[in-house]
Every structure is written in structure tokens, then in C-alpha cells.
Amino acid sequence: MRAGEGVKEYKCTVWSAGAGCHGSCGQKLYVKDGKLIRIEGDENNPWNQGRSCSRALALKQYMYHPDRITTPLKRDGARGEGKFVPISWDEAFDTIERKMKGIREEFGAESILFCQGTGRDVGGPISFLAYSYGSPNWVQLGLSGQSCYTPRLGAMKATFGDFMVADCSQFLEKRYDDPEFEYPEVILVWGQNPPPTCPDGFFGHWIVDCMKKGTQVICVDPRHTWMTTRAKHHLQLRPGTDGALALGMLNVIINEGIYDKEFVAKWCLGFEELKERVQEYSPEKVAGITGVPADTIVSASRTYAKAKNAGGHWGLAVDTAPEGTTVAQAITHLWAITGNIDIPGGSVIARPSHGVTTYPYTTEELVELYGQELVTKLNDKRIGANEYKMVRGFRGWAQPDRAIEACKTGVPYPIKGAWIQTCNPLGGQATRTKYHYEALKGLDFIVAVDLFHNPTTMALADIVLPAATFAEKETFRSWWVPLGVTQKAVQVGECKSDWEINFELAGRLNPEIRQRWGSVRELIDSRLQRAGLTFDKLVEQGSWAMPPDGPFKPYRRHERGLLRHDGVPGFNTPSGKIELYSSVYKGFDIDPLPFYREPVNGPVAKPELAQQYPLTMISGTRNPLFFHSEHRSIPWLREKCPEPLVDIHPDTAKELGIFDGEWVFIENQMGKVKRKASLSKTVKPNMINTEHGWWKPELEGAEPTLFGVWDYQINQLVPGPQDSQSGFGGGQYKVTQVKLTKMPEGGK
């Protein structure tokens, strides 16, 4: 489509509600008479090169959906009755300001939780509001063990002093045509199915692009997927045993001497300690633990280690494994001892583009934004910080399992309110969901910021504020590349951006904010300063900018002194080396070397439980039509997947007398949930696989139905708290023991 004849084109870098994802694709929005008439992938944007997913293409249905919340709402009746009345923004802000100031006065700012779901562009505004208000409790409420990227980020930061991603030329403007780039010989894909997801600043199809050019993939996944069926090696492990497998691969690579000896000698610390530790994990022993044949472990390790250049890509299954921070550490050691660090086609250092912070990932960034004094003060008060040193020292998140327990028990101090922004814990991420429901029901004041009603807004919110999609707001993004902006193309109802809402409130709750910035645009421009850019400049140049040569762009920055603050060659770690024996973990009272432990509720640790509930359930599988608990009301998307399914191996189904397409209960000590049976050999007979985030917008929202959340929300069967000593990782989403029973005839 072309602009003209009353049609205006807006170029945007997506990162927000509407599509819902962590990607940063470029989209072109066509607007006529103030309405979005068409969306197309932007072929000039280096990130996605014109490609789009189904959710992006369904944006119009999302934006103009009849159920969209387009004005602020106040609860009119008891919580859960589903009665709300529209109010003005002034009344909404005045009420919230009065309530939050009152709670801070009486109980302290820490007694309000600032709850977000998966990042998107909300991480910036919500941490901004929490810190402006003075609360240390910014939290991904419900996400047990913070088991989404944080454990992997923690491990990378401890090992390399920086974050890493698989190199698919994404940091280079000319992409695959850049002469510096070399296609990886191998990509090790661990616990993730890239094509249907754009996880954490990474476009899943980049791996497919590389495969088309001859790159081989090694997949670690309990399931068969599109990618495992095209893999050189598929390591189909028992769910939750990722740590043992990584240590087994390290054992092979070290004992066969196929690691990069020169790189290890020059750039790594603690190799001898690691070598000693992995002797406990022979391929034969690991085969017994994981169910992956020893010879497959050996040949996959050889393929990875002997590759000229190999990238490492991974997913949430690493975080949810027991001791996720340690499992992630073991996998980073595979990247390190094979010398695949910051080389073309290897695993490259990833820093927010141009050094611009849009969403603080590290304590350093929080200090830069909010000052050491405030960060230290809040570190001491944060829920979980006194129990887990990693919670105190890394990232500035409250520990989610302890946060919900504080709501119920008042330990370490009473929680009186919650600010819930574009997340739906009851319908999505919350393990032991009934516990979350009861604990949150007891709070004095709850505000939800969202685009549609969902089980969480309906059951809990006193005030609901209407959030904008990416096409309706200004925001910015630097995760990882390009540095991008989203410009506001249309206005829907009275919806506001998360930045606009939080900026207004932060200014009301902390007058200093108004002295520093007069508007969201000023705040954004102040953050873009270090890039020598402004919002308008980025819009002029197509809404994005790639990082210049230097610390934000590969390759071999460790050799060029571009990583350490002192400019000396090396890594940004306490020792300046890659720490295989981690001084940072030691400082967090975590074992400085990787180790393996069985899932706490798994069939090995709890055989009696497995007796009763013999199947291991993995939940959280991605469906390209939905983003977590979103998009079930979008016609184009829902018609393609009208019901929640459960993958059952045909032999298991036969044993239980279950037929394809019939309704079953998935059941355990936590309760039971409905699913439609899908007989499939993608899973092994002793496990089942199902999606999370299911509730039904077409059902009654008021309680007790609550959009069918108690019938379909799978994470209510997942026990808590997290299964990890660091406080991060170990959310039991992929290692829950269950049984299947047939539903009575006609049940649904």
C-alpha cells in the first residue's frame, strides 16, 4: 500500500500490546480519517525485513474490538461481580493518588506491589513508577522463581559480565550481506521452538534463515517440533533434566580435549575447577538421568565443539529447570570453552543499542536511572532480598513467590495494594493460581492497566485504566537492536500509553519527577541523548537506528578493550576473565560451579507422587496465534485455535481409552483442568504437553465463572514456590506430575 489520497503512512518499531511479544519488528501503519486501515511489515527495517506474524496482521481486530476497554473504569459493586462504571481520567488519577499516598503514609511505599507480566515496553514505565513512588517491589507476580529470562540473564552476567545472543547478523545494518558476517556452522537451540516466537529481542525466523544457508541445528527439547525434525541432533530429554545434559556435554568436550584450549587459557578463569566438577557427569550417567542415549550426547557434543563457529540460542525451559540460574550457567560454559564468544556466527555480546536504557535489566542501569542511594535503600527492603542475595544484588525485582506469600501472611511486612499493568496473573503466569486469587482478594486497593477485561481485572480490580496498543502511542526500545521508536498513528477512545499513565501518576506521587521532565517525550529524548538522537530524528530516519562501531556492535570486543570500563582487553567481570568458577555466584551464596539436582516434585524425587500422577506435564508451549494469555477474543486468531488442546502420545491414550478430540481432565493434587485431547507423537508416552494462558472471553466474566479460568487455566495445577536456592529460576511449569481422566459424555 502507498501513502496518498488521504492515507498517511507511519513507520513503527513494534514493542507492545497489540501484537504482544518481545520482538522489535518494523511495521508500516496506514491511517485514513484517523483510523488504521492496514498494517504491513516494513521491508526496510533490518530486524524483520518486512516479515510479520499473525498477531501483528490482526492488529485492526484487536484495536477496534467491541470488548476493548476505552475509558477508565471504577468498580461498582463487590469484587468479582463484574460491575464497573466509566469515570474520567481526572477522577481516576485523583482516586489513585489519594489511595496510594494514604497507603504509603500508613504502611510505607513497600506495601504496594508493582506487578508486570512479560516485558514488552512496560518494564520501563512500571519500574519508573515503582521507584518514583518509593516501592522496592517491582515484580512479575505469579511467575514462580521469576522463571522467564532473569535466570539466564543472571548466569550470563556472572560468567561474561554481559549478555549474549546467537549471532544471526542482527547487529549489522546490512544483515546477512555484511562482509563481516559468517553463517554459523551450527546453532545449539536449547529449550525453545524459535519460529513461533520472537523471544527476548530475537526474531525466531533468523535461525531458519541460517538453516537455509546450511547451518545445522542441535535441538534440546522434550518434544518433537518443526525444528527438531530438521535437526542434526535432537536431544529429547526428560523434562527438567537440562542441567545434567549440559554437564554431560561439558564432560565429553573437556575429556575428549575438543574445547578451544587457546581461548580457555587466554580468556577463562576456573577451567580446572570446572573440569573436576564435570567428572561426576559421564555421558552414561547423564543418559540415565535424562533419557538421552549416551552416544547421542557424545555425537552432539562433538558436532557443537568441532564446529568452526557455533551460536547458542535458548528459551524459558532453561529458567524453569530446578536451579535455573545454575543450568543457564552450565550452558554458558559450553559457549565459552568452545571459544564461540563474540565471533561471527557465534554467541555475541548483546547490549541495549547505543547504551540507551528503555527497560532496566541490571542493577547498574537502575543506579544510573535512579541513583545509588535510592537503589541501595530499596535493595534492603525488597521482598526476598533478605533471603536471597541474588534477589538483592541482581536486577531489582522482588521475588515473586515470596511476594504473593507476603500478601497472605504479612511477612516480611503487610502488602496493602497492587498496581497490575498489562499482566493477567490469574489467567496466565500464576502458579498455585487459587493461592494468588485468595491472597490478592485480601488487598485494600488494586489498580489494573489493561486493554481488555480478563480474569484478573474482573476478580480483583477497583480501578481499570485503558492502555494503548503500539499503534496508539509513543514509546522507544533498545532491546537489543535496533534503537527504535513507535510513533502514535491513531487514538482509540480515551486510551493512554503505559508511559503517559505512569508519568502522570509518578509526577503526582513524587513532585521531583515534574521538575526533571515536562512530558513523556522529554523523558524519552533525555534517554536518547547518549545516542545523539531524538524521537523526531529517529522518526525521520524510518523509526530505527543501528548501533555504531564500538561497545554495542560485534565482533571480538574483548580483544579490543571495548567491554571493560577501563578499556583493558577482557570481559566486564570482577576478574576481567570469563568466570567458569563464578565469584559473583559465590558472593550470592550460590555454588560457583554448575551442578545438577532433580526436580523437587519430579518422578525421581517424589516416586509416591508419580505413582498417583504418572505423567509429566509441560505447559507454556508457544502458539503463534496467541501471546501468553492474550488474543483469545480476536476472531482471525481464535478461529484457527478455538479450544485448548493437550498433546497425548497415542499409546498413552490407548491405555486410558482416550480418543482424539474428546475432552479430558488434567488432574493432580492442586485441582483439575479441562483440555481437548490431541493424539500426537510429538511427546513421549510418559509426558503430556499443553499451552498456558487459556481462559474464554466469550464466557461470563463475573464470578464464579470468571471467563472459565478455573476450567482452563493450566498453571493452577503447577505447585509453588520456586525450586531454586538463588530465588530465581525453578518455576515448576515444565515438571508437573499429573494424570488424565475422561470427562463425562458431552463434557466440555
Using CB under 6 A, list all residues that contact ligand SF4: 14, 19, 21, 23, 25, 48, 52-53, 55-56, 198
Q: Which is nearer to ligand SF4, 14 or 735 (CB)?
A: 14
Query: For the CA atoms of the chain, what is the radius of gyration?
Result: 25
Q: How far is the CB of 358 from ligand SF4 (least distance, A)?
A: 15
- Cα–Cα distance between 734 and 221 in angstroms, integer? 11
* Residue among 120 and 432 whose Cβ is closer to ligand SF4: 120
Phi/psi of residue 55, each to 5°?
-70, -40
Question: Shortest distance, CB of residue 204 to ligand SF4, whole angstroms?
Answer: 7
Strands 417-421 and 112-116: parallel
Q: Which is nearer to ligand SF4, 52 or 429 (CB)?
A: 52
| Least distance between ligand SF4 and beta carbon 406 (Å) | 34
> Nearest approach, Cβ of 424 to ligand SF4 (angstroms)?
18
Report in angstroms how near the CB of residue 47 gets to ligand SF4 at its nearest: 8
The DSSP call for residue 333 is H
Minimum CB distance to ligand SF4 smaller for 53 or for 505? 53
DSSP state of 71: S
Burial pattern 554-593, b for ≥16 Cβ within 10 A else e, equals bbebbeeebbbeeeebbbbbeebbbbbbbebbeebebbbb
**Regarding beta strands 483-486 and 544-545, do their DSSP bridges make them parallel or antiparallel, or are they unpaired?**
antiparallel
Q: Toward ligand SF4, which CB reaches closer, 314 or 626? A: 626
What minimum distance in Å lies between the beta carbon of 24 and ligand SF4? Answer: 6
What's the min distance (Å) between Cβ of 21 and ligand SF4?
A: 3
Q: State which residue, 30 or 397, has the beta carbon closest to ligand SF4.
A: 30
d(CA 106, CA 128): 22
Q: Are 572 and 162 in contact (CB under 8 A)?
A: yes
Query: Which lies closer to ligand SF4 via its Cβ, residue 53 or residue 126?
Result: 53
* Euclidean distance between CA atoms 700 and 679, whole angstroms: 30
The least distance separating ligand SF4 from the CB of residue 320, rounded to whole angstroms, comes to: 21
Identify residue 204 by its one-letter amino acid code.
Answer: G
Query: Among residues 89 and 636, whose Cβ is nearest to ligand SF4?
Result: 636
C-beta of 17 vs 103, nearer to ligand SF4: 17
CB nearer to ligand SF4: pick between 20 and 270: 20
Closest to ligand SF4 by CB, 53 vs 418, is 53
Nearer to ligand SF4, 304 or 626 (CB): 626
3-state secondary structure string across 549-576: CCCCCCCCCCCCCCCCCCCCCCCCCCCC
Shortest Cβ 451–ligand SF4 spacing (Å): 15
Give 450's strand partners: 466
Distant-in-sequence, close-in-space partners of 152: CB < 8 Å, separation ≥ 6: 314, 318, 319, 324, 328
- Report the nearest approach of ligand SF4 to the CB of residue 392 (Å): 33
Return the number of the residue (55 or 99) whose C-beta is nearest ligand SF4: 55
Residue-wise DSSP of 683-741? S-TTEEEE-S----TTS--STTTGGGHHHH-GGGGS--S-S-SSSSS--GGG-EEEEEE
Shortest distance (Å) from residue 205 CB to ligand SF4: 8
Residue among 45 and 135 whose Cβ is closer to ligand SF4: 45
Q: C-beta of 715: minimal distance to ligand SF4 in Å?
A: 22
d(CA 437, CA 626): 23
**Other residues' Cβ atoms within 10 Å of the Cβ of residue 348:** 27
> Reading across the β-sheet that carries 7-13, which strands appear in turn?
7-13, 26-32, 35-41
Nearer to ligand SF4, 198 or 492 (CB): 198
- CB 664 → ligand SF4: shortest distance, Å? 31
CB of residue 19 to ligand SF4, shortest distance in Å: 3
Residues whose CB is less than 8 angstroms from the CB of residue 391 and which lie 6 or more positions away in sequence, other chains included: 382, 384, 385, 397, 398, 399, 727, 728
Grid coordinates in use for 109?
A: 511505599
On the CB side of 12, CA atoms within 13 Å amount to: 30
Closest residue by beta carbon to ligand SF4:
23
Give me the least distance between CB of 623 and ligand SF4, in Å please: 12
**How far apart are CB 352 and ligand SF4 at their closest, in Å?**
17
- Sign of the dihedral through C-alpha 640, 642, 645, 651: negative
- Least separation in angstroms between residue 10's CB and ligand SF4 is 15
- Between CA 625 and CA 630, with CA 626 as vertex, the angle to 5 degrees is 150
Helix axes 520-528, 498-509, angle to 10 degrees: 100
Peptide bond into 721 cis (omega under 30): yes
Q: Which residue has the cell 537455509?
A: 212
Phi–psi pair at 530, nearest 5 degrees: -65, -15
By C-beta, is 55 or 152 nearer to ligand SF4?
A: 55
| Closer residue to ligand SF4 in complex, CB, 23/602 | 23
For residues 400 and 387, the answer to whether their CB atoms sit within 8 Å is no
Give the position of cell 468479582: 80
Q: Which of 486, 475, 353 is nearest to 27 (CA)?
A: 486
What are the b/e assignments for 422-445, b being 16+ CB within 10 Å?
A: bbbbbbbbbbbbebbbebbeebbb
- Neighbouring residues of 66: CB distance < 8 A, sequence distance ≥ 6: none
When the beta carbons of 15 and 304 are compared against ligand SF4, the nearer one is 15
Report the nearest approach of ligand SF4 to the CB of residue 384 (Å): 31
